Amino acid sequence: MATITHQTGKQILRYTRPERLVHWIGASSVLLLLLSGLVLLWAPLGALAAGGYSRLVHRLGALLFMAAPILYAVLNRGHLKRLLIEPFRYDRDDLRWLMCAPRYFFGFAKSMPPQGRINAGQKLHHAGTFISFMAVTLSGFALWFGKANLGAEGMAVAAIIHDISMLAITVLMIGHVYFTLVYGALPAMTTGYVSEEYARLEHAKWLAEVNAQRSGTTEAEKVAEPAAPPEIEPAIGQTPAESVKGHN
């Protein structure tokens, strides 16, 4: 298996500080939910549930879990629409990428079809995370507040949905960690930057957009610069100051 690292060369901002903050809040909340949920459900760990502390930790994790997307919407309002739409839009290069996904799984990203800000695999991951998040949240609300109205059968259905969707999130998280390690992508979510080499290999279309934006900004700055006044060549026998005075 090929393990790829890209830590040298020109660095490009990929994730802003608010995006990284929300990412780590979300990751922490999933770990809290997973560990406290195992204590509540798995008999060998049942002793740890004594005193109700695991249930309290689970609910604190749930609050963090629900707070993460709200915080993202507040801090990254301009990117929220993109975050919700991108995972459900696929072009021809995305379909070609998915056809080559087995090769990518083993760390061979060279010659993969060019990708945008997120590749086709990440789109599937984001879509699955979004759907699972909604299922976990709604079923969790039902389990938390619906005891009086749902009855035993309704609570059982909510519990099944809750457990299956949490299992899906766990699988998605394991896959996320796996590809992060294989492609050396952790620094992107700690520093916010990736190397230009990494961007060209993984997200060539996105890199082209970034470079185009930079070129556009540079050209705009050049246009905005005031033009230098024309130089006036003094006539024979005149000093430069006399020449300027004569032209005024």
96/79 Cα distance (integer angstroms): 26
> 246 exposed, middle or buried (CB, 10 Å; 0-12, 13-18, 19+)?
exposed
Q: Give the Å distances, CA to CA, from 209 to 12, 87, 117.
A: 12, 18, 9
* Phi-psi domain of 114 (left: phi exceeds 0; alpha: psi -120 through 50; beta: other): beta
Residue 241 placed within a domain:
no
pLDDT over 90 at 5, yes or no: no
Q: Which two tokens stand for residue 153?
A: 């059968």
Number of domains the chain is built from: 1
Q: Tell me the whole-structure pTM to 2 decimals.
A: 0.79
DSSP label at residue 118: S
Query: 189-201: b or e for each residue (b if 16 or more CB lie within 10 Å)?
Result: beebbbbbebbbb
Residue 2 placed within a domain:
no
Residue 38 placed within a domain:
no
Residue 236 placed within a domain:
no
Instruction: Please list, in sequence order, all residues whose beta carbon lies within 8 angstroms of the beta carbon of residue 30, skipping any fewer than 6 positions away.
Output: 61, 65, 169, 170, 173
156/132 Cα distance (integer angstroms): 18
Provide the pLDDT for residue 226.
Answer: 54
221/106 Cα distance (integer angstroms): 44
pLDDT over 90 at 50, yes or no: no
Q: Please write the tens of the pLDDT for every residue from 58-96.
A: 889 999 999 999 999 999 887 888 888 999 999 999 999
In single-letter form, the type of residue at position 191 comes to: T
Provide the pLDDT for residue 3.
Answer: 46
pLDDT over 70 at 10, yes or no: yes
Residue 149 placed within a domain:
yes
Provide the pLDDT for residue 1.
Answer: 54
pLDDT over 70 at 179, yes or no: yes
CATH code, domain with 113? 1.20.950.20
What range defines the domain where residue 210 resides?
11-16+76-217
Q: Please write the tens of the pLDDT for every residue from 195-248.
A: 999 999 999 999 999 999 888 765 545 555 555 555 544 555 555 455 444 544
* Phi-psi domain of 64 (left: phi exceeds 0; alpha: psi -120 through 50; beta: other): alpha
Tell which residue, 199, 175, 173, 201, has the closest CA to residue 188. 199
Residue 183 placed within a domain:
yes
**Average pLDDT of the segment spanning 11-32:** 94
Residue 234 placed within a domain:
no
Provide the pLDDT for residue 229.
Answer: 54
Q: Please write the tens of the pLDDT for every residue from 97-130.
A: 999 999 999 999 988 999 999 999 999 999 999 9
